[in-house]
Amino acid sequence: MQLVTIVLINFQWYSIAKIIGAEISFKDLLHMNLVGTFVESVTPSVKAGGETAKVYTLNKKLGLSIGRATAMVSIQKIVSIIAFATINLISIVGFLSKVEVQGLYLKLLLTSFLFLIGVLAIIIAFMVIPDKILWIFNKLSNRKFEEKLNNFLFIFQKTIKEAIKNKKAFSQQLLLSFIIWGFFAFKAIILARGLHLDIGLFTIAIITYITYMVAMVPLLPGGLGSFEGSMVFLLAPFGITLSRGMAFALALRFTTFWFVFFISAIYLAINTVISFITDIKAKGLNLVIKD
């Protein structure tokens, strides 16, 4: 099931690349995503570390300019967060309708949702008024970087405008984001049924989404600890004990986080070894030719 999610996410990136006119293979985008997954898993930065790694890979390894690479990452992130924020709004309303909320629960829900909306607002602002944001950077940065920033701004704005013009494609990406997020609830429901948790399907889904929202707050790498703690905390009002709640949280965490992390780590290790061996062989061949 998690492998299906990985393929769907990669397909979304492939589709977005087509929208902006970038010729990047499915395999190369899978490499980019695995690099991004590894980096975001070890950095407590609301996936910002992973997105930066993706921009770097698109630029240095796959030949896109910084402006186009940033635009591509921004488009994917905006459709993903819009879908996620919509689902979480429904989830919060659903949770509040089922539970008599105490102060701590309300604070957790409100703080996490406002943080999510804040991230969404920053990305939208960067897409809509990048010139204003880069004007601030121009004032703060060295003069020698001003031309590079202006060039970045021109390419970024041009790419974003071209992508947004294609409303049908943009809507399709938004729908795909809802489907991808839907798989997270589906996996949670399967695990909950396997562990015989006596709560409804809708309740499992809304708790799963709220937990992921809380884990987005940058406290620890990959939301470690905050995910498990929030899951147990949100399950408690539904009569789920600490031990059973923790078992469910760990099982879901392994499926959606550790499994993907291990895949990305193993892939990068193998890729590094292959690159090292290839470089050694190339250097050896050059020495033979020189001799």
Tens digit of pLDDT for each residue in 54-67? 999 999 888 898 88
Round to whole Å and give the CA distance between 124 and 141.
Answer: 23
Mean pLDDT of 146-161: 76
Q: How far apart are CA 155 and CA 238, in angstroms?
A: 51
More confident residue, 242 or 158: 242
Number of independent structural domains in the chain = 1
**CA 182, CA 128: separation in Å to the nearest integer?**
28
Q: How confident is the model at residue 85 (pLDDT cuts 50, 70, 90)?
A: very high
**Domain range holding 223?**
2-290
User: Tens of pLDDT along 237-291?
Assistant: 999 999 999 999 999 999 988 889 899 999 999 988 888 888 787 766 555 555 5
Rounded Cα distance, 97 and 112, in Å: 18
HEC string of 36-92 equals HHHHHHCCCCCCHHHHHHHHHHHHHHCCCCHHHHHHHHHHHHHHHHHHHHHHHHHHH
- The whole-model pTM stands at 0.85
